[in-house]
Structure 1
Amino acid sequence: MKHGLAALLAAGTLVMAGCGSTTEPPAKAAPEASASTAQAQVTPQAQGLPVTVRSSDGTDVEVKDASRIVPMTGDVAEIVFALGLADKVVGVDLSAMGLPEARQKPQIGYQRSLAAEGILSLKPTVLIGTEEAGPPPVIEQLKGAGIPIVTVPSGAGGVDEVPGKIELVGKALGVPEKGAELAARTKAEIDAAKAKVTGTDKAKVAFLYLRGQSKTYQLGGAGTRADAMIAAAGAEDAGTAAGVQGYKPITAEAMVKAAPDQILVMSMGLESVGGVDGLLKLPGVAETPAGKNRRIVSLDDLELIGMGPRTGQALDKLVTAFQSR
């Protein structure tokens, strides 16, 4: 493939800036309408309650009422909306605000720094999120208030966890059939995307977590959702190959050691640093093969690492991008 190829897919949700390109993501990373918007038009009745489910933390949780749902993490909120339960959601965390269905909902803060008082004021009948919801003392306080809390896998273990994650959400909220249907469709899309991976010459891809407002610039590695997505798309995670576990601050030394062919970022993160030109000003980025050739791949935040209904669609875009070297 031509080395400076520029690709633009999915109406702005994926941007690959080729050599000399100044392409930037849209001002707002709008999620695709496929799963959540289409499914949200249907509001299934919660006929599967009461139900006892096994949370990913190993506890059995009984859910009797899903009339007032609070998804504590954005990825789970997207699944809940895709199951047609938007009208039952009474609050969402900040990481869900890129979803159209979430924008008019009360906010409960950021998923990792929740406050019990605000959540309790919404009178939820069930709380559901990944293990990233916290901090732990707040979760314990909410449990002490007698509210059922269901924990589901984040998906960091790999894309094959996603269908089970979706099914668990559906079962816990009383719509097991809808959950099974959405999980099956998502699995089919994931399998179809993985089947497009060809060749043994893997692209070396570095995922950079960027939040310009807080000056947070990190290189991802093993154990992250981005690592799982990169691997499933048939590429090599440059951070993992360089020995990074989780995330570490971007340094010139770390970027030179990672030496990525391509750089993967979330759209809002790329926007927060001033687009591709701003990204190239971060330590060491311009000195990498990806930086020299402006090989930047950008996807909507939840689409890329939400490990939810759009995972297969995201993988399909990544496979195309990573193989167009």
Structure 2
Amino acid sequence: MKRGLIALLAAGTVALAGCGNTTESSAEAAPAASAPAASTAPAAQGLPVTVRSADGSSVEVKDASKIIPLTGDVAEIVFALGLADHVVGVDLSAAGLPEARQKPQVGYQRALAAEGILSLKPTVLLGTEEAGPPPVIEQLKAAGIPVVMVPSGSGGVDEVPAKIELIGKALGVPDKGAELAAKAKSEIDAARAKAAAAGAERPRVAFLYLRGQSNTYQIGGTGTRADAMIAAAGGEDAGTGAGVQGFKPVTAEAMVKAAPDHILVMKAGLESVGGVDGLLKLPGVAETPAGRNKRIVSLDDLELLGMGPRTGQAIDKLVTAFQAK
């Protein structure tokens, strides 16, 4: 491996990860704005429709003129489907998406408040199981708003196409959903083929979840989206190999045991600790092969862990970074 490789790939902000790998912005959520005027964009043609929500319920959606994605990964898919004009609010984790910058914020996905969401008069809400807290989701359902839950994708990259298709169907644009899902699948397949063609060598990669603002430094392992992405890119998750379930605090002992060849981080997390120099000051990091050689791979948060339209592109970048000599 080439010494001193630092892959700082793409720009972005807050991503959200499954099974505890949740990214939290340091910014404060903007207060909920009054409901915007109804969009003049063409209405969806596939409504009403009844879809099977990830929580096991059947949800009927009659109107998708005023959408609120409750999580950043869902927001990215909604925007990719061409429905930005129908989005009347987003959560804080979507703030880095260009289409979200002028949208009212409804709080952070795991700490939503029903009042702010209801004030925007949405006709449909969509989110993953990370949206909550659960009593707020129940309150929104009780208000009579259709709430469609979709898989986060933490089960692996093979879940991405179905996730996209479900969102497209729920919003009355099933053809666009199928087209976007097929494109995502094609890019994922191509990136995995590239990883397979790289040979039998499987570099050890540790994913570190970093939030310097709150002094949160964790190493990921089994059951996380990062684990799924590392595997898809032909790597071996060093945290998983060291017996980490979900996430555990970064300690010198944990890092030495993981002994990663590369350290994978989200861009916002890396910035929050002062870049590569700050990362190397965390317990045990400088003593790992990755730390000694400064093999740090950084991607945009939603691109890396969103399990959405850019998943194949992210895997391709990881393959390149992990295999560079």
TM-score by length of 1: 0.89
Structure 1 contact 130–152 (Cα < 8 Å) conserved: yes
Deviations 1:77-118 (A, max 9, x none): 000000000010011000000101001100011101101111
1:313 maps to 313
Structure 2 contact 71–109 (Cα < 8 Å) conserved: yes
1:35 maps to none
Structure 1 contact 250–283 (Cα < 8 Å) conserved: yes
2:77 equivalent to 1:79: yes
Query: Does the C-alpha gap of structure 1 residues 76 and 265 become closer, same or farther in structure 2, counting only changes over 3 Å?
Result: same
Aligned with 2:219: secondary structure?
Answer: strand
1:181 maps to 179
Query: Does the C-alpha gap of structure 1 residues 44 and 191 become closer, same or farther in structure 2, counting only changes over 3 Å?
Result: farther
- How far off is 1:45 after superposition? 3.6
In 1, the alpha carbon distance for the partners of 2:87 and 2:228 equals: 29
* Structure 2 gaps, min length 5: 13-40
In 2, the alpha carbon distance for the partners of 1:249 and 1:115 equals: 29
Candidates 138, 144, 166, aligned match of 2:164: 166
2:22 maps to none
Structure 1 contact 156–223 (Cα < 8 Å) conserved: yes
2:18 maps to none
In 2, the alpha carbon distance for the partners of 1:165 and 1:153 equals: 6
2:235 maps to 235
Deviations 1:129-175 (A, max 9, x none): 10100000110111111110000010000001000000000000000
In 2, the alpha carbon distance for the partners of 1:5 and 1:294 equals: 6
Structure 2 contact 286–292 (Cα < 8 Å) conserved: yes
Aligned with 1:52: secondary structure?
Answer: strand
Aligned with 1:114: secondary structure?
Answer: coil
2:123 equivalent to 1:122: no
Aligned with 1:226: secondary structure?
Answer: helix
In 2, the alpha carbon distance for the partners of 1:227 and 1:312 equals: 15
In 2, the alpha carbon distance for the partners of 1:9 and 1:67 equals: 35
- How far off is 1:6 after superposition? 4.6
- How far off is 1:7 after superposition? 4.8
* Structure 1 gaps, min length 5: 14-42
For 2:298, the aligned partner's letter is: S
TM-score by length of 2: 0.89
For 2:87, the aligned partner's letter is: V
In 2, the alpha carbon distance for the partners of 1:231 and 1:286 equals: 24
2:299 maps to 299
1:268 maps to 268
Aligned with 2:194: secondary structure?
Answer: coil
1:80-99 alignment, distance < 5 Å = 80-99=78-97
1:59-70 alignment, distance < 5 Å = 59-70=57-68
Structure 2 contact 208–264 (Cα < 8 Å) conserved: yes
In 1, the alpha carbon distance for the partners of 2:233 and 2:85 equals: 35
2:245 maps to 245
- How far off is 1:5 after superposition? 3.8
In 2, the alpha carbon distance for the partners of 1:52 and 1:293 equals: 53
In 1, the alpha carbon distance for the partners of 2:306 and 2:9 equals: 19
- How far off is 1:4 after superposition? 3.5
1:26-45 alignment, distance < 5 Å = 45=43
In 2, the alpha carbon distance for the partners of 1:163 and 1:70 equals: 21
Candidates 170, 189, 192, aligned match of 2:190: 192
Deviations 1:168-208 (A, max 9, x none): 00000000000000000010000000000121110000000
Aligned with 1:223: secondary structure?
Answer: coil
Structure 2 contact 61–124 (Cα < 8 Å) conserved: yes
In 1, the alpha carbon distance for the partners of 2:265 and 2:5 equals: 18
1:254 maps to 254
Structure 1 contact 44–85 (Cα < 8 Å) conserved: no
Structure 1 contact 44–175 (Cα < 8 Å) conserved: no
2:140 equivalent to 1:142: yes
Query: Does the C-alpha gap of structure 1 residues 177 and 149 become closer, same or farther in structure 2, counting only changes over 3 Å?
Result: same
For 2:101, the aligned partner's letter is: R
